[in-house]
Amino acid sequence: MTEREQAGRPDPAHLRPPGLDDVTVDALGRFSKALEIIHRVRGHLYAFHQLTGSADFELDDVVRLFRQAGHDTWADRIERELIGRNVIAGRWTYQLVEEYDDGYYAAFQNLEREARTELAEGRRHLYEAELKQQRRTPGQPGHEAAP
């Protein structure tokens, strides 16, 4: 088969297994989309973690400057009430990240993977792969079915 002919055929890893119905492909596609949202949520959680830590370290300069300006009472309060404070009862942000990663995030990823494995031979993005076939213009540069 020529390279040109091959470019018209989708990647076999993204072909629907025999007997897999449209509703299941749709459900798996939505499950995958939900997982993608959870990946974004995790990114926001890590941003929350990093930004909170950065703010906590910024307070060191605030305390230094308040002391330099003669505002020891404010410097003392910030050191006592804010620096190193738990963000929720008993936890810093790294603990929230760890609990999220090991709990909800891991469970979500595992269930999505298990559903794909059981229902679609582990194939990913079947819905999108079929959408690509429907929307591309065969023979048009930049619209190849596969690399």
The pair of structure tokens assigned to 108 is 């979500």
Please determine, for residue 147, whether its predicted confidence score (pLDDT) is greater than 70: yes
| pLDDT, tens digit, 9 for 90 and up, residues 36-82 | 999 999 999 999 999 999 999 999 999 999 999 999 999 999 999 99
| pLDDT, tens digit, 9 for 90 and up, residues 99-138 | 999 999 999 999 999 999 999 999 999 999 889 999 999 8
Q: Using 50, 70 and 90 to split pLDDT, how confident is the model at 5?
A: very low
Phi, psi at 91, each rounded to 5°: -135, 140
Q: CB under 8 Å to 103, separation ≥6 — which residues?
A: none
Distance separating alpha carbons of residues 147 and 46, to the nearest angstrom: 34
Under 8 Å between Cβ of 29 and 131: no
